[in-house]
Chains A and B, each alone.
Chain A
Amino acid sequence: MKKVLLMGNPNVGKSAFFSRLTGVHVITSNYPGTTVEFTKGYMLFAGEKAEVIDVPGTYTLEPTCKAEEVACEMLKLATKEVVQEGDVIINVVDATNLERNLYLTLELMEQKIPIIVALNMWDDTKHKGIHIDVEKLAEWLGVPVVPTVAVTGEGFAKLIGEIYKARAPWVRKHTLEERWKDVGKVVTRVQRLEHRHHTLLERFQDLTIKPLTGLPIAAAIAYLAFKVIRFIGEGLIGYVFEPLFNNFYTPLIMKLSALLGSTGFWHDILVGKLINGQIDYLQSMGVLTTGFFIPIGAVLPYVLSFYFVLGLLEDSGYLPRLAVLMDNLMHRIGLHGFAIVPTLLSFGCNVPGILATRILESKRERFIASTLISVGVPCAALQAMIIGVLGYYGARPVAIVYGTLFLVWLTLGYVLNKLLPGFSPELLLEIPPYRFPPLTIIYKKLWWRMKAFLKEAVPIVLIGVFVVNILYVLGVFNFIADISAPIVTGLLGLPKEAVTAIVIGFLRKDVAVGMLVPLGLSVSQLIVACVVLSMFFPCVATFVVLIQELGWKDMLKATAIMIVAALLAGSLLNFIL
């Protein structure tokens, strides 16, 4: 099958390009390094199916981080197979940054693969006062050049037409200096810049990155983001999900309960225990009651509001600025500022967060970042349950949990940075201009992430609750509770039954928090249990991604660190509270 490789610098819109060509939606954002692994899709091309590959962005073909390595490996594969396959590279170029982008273009042209250059973000050149002579550029390069706007689809019909005509250029290997000299020559011939004054948006851009104004703005944005997430989440629960459950779902399940005779094995598994003859969604522990309520009624509203706000932040271009402001702090814990991006993603779900650590340069950084995320960053599902269960007792217990996790994150990072050999590389980051994110893109991304949540989380929650019930019936939990009693009761001050929740935390942490409710814990005990649950062990999905990204050995190291840190923090809290 014919392959079409999308290659280019980071943050030039390759992923938007990919969605446009294949109709497959992939996550796009306004910061370099959104795509860290290659994504495949298919398009029909002259009645033939062709494979389109979204390759992570790279500045050169000499990689400096894992994501760039992926890009270079993809290219090597393509070069090997090119003779039979007739592959094409579409080199996506940021038209507003022609000079920097063309270096990679020249490198790609030396690979003897048919290539088309797409001058993307063409619409931006107009208001930035940049004039590019497209014909001259195509003539000089000797390959087709097409201006495009991936977000609107402008230029795509022409681009697809050019795929037929693409030929492999015959360019000898150049040295680095020769390439830059050539880039300089082309740019002076084809590009003309208009002198222009600073726009208001650019002034704001500068304000958000200068420390004296940037730090207060960052604090304000963080506060606002938090407020908006809570407002939307609570609003959805209060006005949509609760009424839906109370008015439609509960009567349905009550009928089922009566049908099953209000007791018995299947009743206990599907509906669970009735509390005062009623369903209690947090305590009944049936697959269709608690198992359905946790992902849909409690977690989904917060996941939705979190990803909505995250999408706005991602697409506006604010995150790289936050990375610069946080750089000093992050160096104290062995990372540089850009590690804030994977960390923020992890507040939604740790899995994409840990994948995103591929934008970091060294193995050491990726180990520190992944470990810190698994220990100190609770995912949206877990947070929704913590807030739901602890929020009942006011803001203070919730604040203690978050404060403890933050302190652990800082301390552990500091210790790891001191203990692990090596150093943290310096920040070198492109700061993209602010863009007003198109609502359609925000909406599509949100929808895509919600679908992924429903597809991945709901089945595991249902299975988890089912397993809990079976294990109860078999008496396995009593056995585990008895052997772990010295640690759970002695160190953490929790009843030995709490260990069942901690064990289930391996499947889903949100379900685990739900399992704490029927135990009738005191507020302090709930706080200890929530902190231990968050830190103790990665959930199974995170576990798998840790093995994939770090390898077995480092994953075991990270897990050992998590267990020790969780026991330490839990016992300390138990002692203080």
Chain B
Amino acid sequence: MNPKEVSVTSMRSGQSGVVTGIAGGHEVSRRLQAMGVKTGKPITKVSGMFFWGPVTVRVGHTQLSIGHGMASKIMVEVAE
């Protein structure tokens, strides 16, 4: 079980992990934080639309859908 850092977009549906950081600019990370996506938070991927569509995740009791570009900036540590 080696922990591995991936972006939310490359997680499998149903997979869980812990947010390790947001690789985007200040604006992106501020908006994501305001909706609950922050370093250290457990996160579960619910689904991803095909063709680079939005990714849906669960953080705490909130479900969020995040555009593909923004989602690719959320880094998550998952157990392999």
Contact = CB atoms under 8 A, between A and B. Distances in A.
29 contacts: A62-B30, A64-B31, A97-B60, A100-B34, A100-B62, A103-B33, A130-B61, A206-B47, A209-B47, A209-B56, A211-B49, A323-B65, A324-B54, A324-B56, A325-B49, A327-B49, A327-B54, A328-B51, A328-B52, A328-B53, A336-B67, A425-B67, A426-B54, A427-B66, A428-B35, A428-B65, A430-B62, A430-B63, A433-B63
B67 A327 contact: yes
Nearest to A104: B34
Given A64-B31, A324-B56, A99 B36 contact: yes
Contact of B35 (A205, A320, A336, A430): A430
Given A324-B54, A431-B63, A431-B65, 19 more contacts: A62-B30, A96-B61, A99-B36, A100-B36, A103-B33, A103-B34, A128-B61, A130-B61, A210-B46, A211-B49, A324-B53, A324-B65, A327-B49, A327-B65, A426-B68, A427-B67, A429-B64, A430-B62, A433-B63
Interface in B7-42: 13, 30-36, 38
B70 interface: yes
Q: Which of A99, A100, A337, A433 has the most CB of B within 10 A?
A: A100
A128 to B, nearest CB: 7
Nearest to A337: B54
Contacts of A42: none
B15 to A, nearest CB: 14
A156 interface: no
A219 interface: no
A452 B45 CA distance: 43
A180 B67 contact: no
B75 to A, nearest CB: 17
Contacts of B52: 328
Interface residues of A, number: 36
A95 to B, nearest CB: 10
Interface of A: 59-60, 62, 64, 96-97, 99-100, 103, 128, 130, 176, 180, 205-206, 209-211, 214, 320, 323-325, 327-328, 336-337, 425-433
Contacts of B38: 180
A357 B33 CA distance: 24
Give 8 closest A-B pairs by Cβ, nearest first. Answer: A426-B67, A59-B34, A431-B63, A210-B47, A100-B36, A324-B65, A427-B67, A328-B53
A214 B52 CA distance: 16
Contacts, number: 95
Q: Which of A59, A205, A428 has the most CB of B within 10 A?
A: A428
A214 B46 CA distance: 12
A146 to B, nearest CB: 21
A427 B38 CA distance: 18
Contacts of B70: 426, 428
Contact of A428 (B13, B49, B62, B67): B67
Contacts of B68: 426
Contacts of A337: 54, 65
B50 A426 contact: no
Nearest to A130: B61
Nearest to A205: B63
Contacts of A209: 46-47, 56, 65
A128 B62 CA distance: 12
B32 to A, nearest CB: 7
Contacts of B33: 103, 176, 180
Contacts of B63: 205, 430-433
A62 to B, nearest CB: 7
Contacts of A206: 46-47
B49 A324 contact: yes
A97 B62 contact: yes
B34 A328 contact: no
B54 A427 contact: yes
A99 B60 CA distance: 9
Contact of A100 (B13, B46, B50, B60): B60
Contacts of B69: 426
Contact of A60 (B34, B64, B66): B34
Given A176-B30, A176-B33, A211 B65 contact: no
Given A336-B67, A427-B54, A60 B49 contact: no
A525 B49 CA distance: 42
A422 to B, nearest CB: 15
